[in-house]
Structure 1
Amino acid sequence: MRIPYVPNPPQPTTEDEAAIVARISARRAPRPLQPLDLALLHSPAVADGWNSFLGAIRTRAAAVGAREREIAICRVAACNGAWYEWAHHEPLARAAGVSEVGMGVVGREVLVAEREGEIDKGDLSDKEWAVLRYADEMTRNVKVSDQTFEALRELCSEREVVEITATVAAYNCVSRFLVALDVGEKNGTGPDGTKH
């Protein structure tokens, strides 16, 4: 971490800050506060807004299935080298039913090799593949091609498209914060956590 984490447990100086810490702790329960929380709590107002926004993405964006959501989050982590994020979400993707083969596809450096005529999407469903491609293009290019968008739109409702887009956008924010400050001390590692 490039700056020290706040003390754990945090030492709020006002009732408002104590309420913020309580809200973040409640969302994390039964787990303890995470290094990300301890970095964000340098700015309690930012930590509070972050907690509310990411809480909505993680727990209240109900149209998107857990598999698709975690595939999108893990693809953002892989594209951005946010291995702290990967370490937290790869087990959630597996728990949602993404296979080892599927996670191998999600974690590829290059999703689709241009020279290959046949696309290897492992055992991912058409919908999961569409979400993965969309997350990849949003993360790498910001602008998504009409072809990639139409492939997603064909398989998803408008609400799902909005929730997938918001999830990818939110986790790009998360990964950039994590990598810039080296939260969790994972910079320079890979998906397996070993230094490269």
Structure 2
Amino acid sequence: MRIPYVPNPPPTSTEEEAAILSRIAARRAPRPLQPLDLALLHSPPVADGWNAFLGAVRTRTLLSPRLRELAICRVAVCNAAWYEWAHHAPLAAAAGLGPRALELVKRERWDALGDEEKSAAEDDGLGPREWAVLRYTDEMTRVVRVADHTFAALRAVCDEREVVEVTATVAAYNCVSRFLVALDVGERNATGPDDVQH
């Protein structure tokens, strides 16, 4: 990482900082604090807001785990945020995305997919909803402005709440990936998705 992580366990100097640390540890439990937490805790108020926002996106939406983790993984690929990929690819697999589907998520482009590849991907968890989320995620991440036809494809397979939750997930994890990559949290910038152990 480009700056030192805070010590673990992180020191606190006020009751407010102790409460912030307690909230972050509670959300991570039973896992320990992560390198991302130990970077963010240089600024306890930022770490607290981050924890609340990402906690809501990850655990309080109605979005299916498959769509949520698919969007997060695609953001990680688009931004070369391999620390993010390492944490979320196993969750995407657990949510029903098979190895062939995850291989397609890692691709730069899908223009040249043949019918056989499309069929195999569909059998492996990439149906119409997943493809709509993938394309929407790509445009939000790479272009920012989403084309009308891309939005219409998402709207055709998602209700209004799901649209908002997909959009918030993609936006949130673009924020996460940019923080991770800029500071090289987890020391993954020089690696790729195939260098990550699950």
| TM class, shorter-length | over 0.9
Distance in 1 between residues matched to 2:113 and 2:133, nearest whole Å = 21
C-alpha distance 120-135 of structure 1, shift in aligned 2 (>3 A): farther
| Offset at residue 192 of structure 1 (A) | 2.0
Amino acid at match of 1:29: A
The answer as to whether partners of 1:75 and 1:107 remain within 8 angstroms in 2 is yes
Which residue of structure 1 aligns with residue 7 of structure 2? 7
Q: What TM-score results when the alignment is normalised by the length of structure 1?
A: 0.94
Which residue of structure 1 aligns with residue 53 of structure 2? 53
| Offset at residue 154 of structure 1 (A) | 0.3
Q: What TM-score results when the alignment is normalised by the length of structure 2?
A: 0.93
Q: Across the two proteins, how many residue pairs are aligned to each other?
A: 191
Distance in 2 between residues matched to 1:157 and 1:119, nearest whole Å = 30
Which residue of structure 1 aligns with residue 142 of structure 2? 140
Distance in 2 between residues matched to 1:40 and 1:186, nearest whole Å = 17
* SS of residue matched to 1:91: helix
Matches within 5 A, 1:45-194: 45-62=45-62, 64-110=63-109, 112-113=110-111, 120-121=117-118, 122-123=121-122, 124-193=126-195
| Offset at residue 105 of structure 1 (A) | 1.1
RMSD between aligned alpha carbons? 1.4
Amino acid at match of 1:100: P
Amino acid at match of 2:74: R
| Offset at residue 118 of structure 1 (A) | 6.1
Amino acid at match of 1:71: L
1:160-194 C-alpha deviation (Å, 9 max, x unpaired): 00000000000000000000000000001100226
The answer as to whether partners of 1:186 and 1:193 remain within 8 angstroms in 2 is no
Percent identity of equivalent pairs? 70
C-alpha distance 130-55 of structure 1, shift in aligned 2 (>3 A): same
Amino acid at match of 2:68: R
Unaligned runs of 5+ in 1: none
Distance in 2 between residues matched to 1:176 and 1:80, nearest whole Å = 7
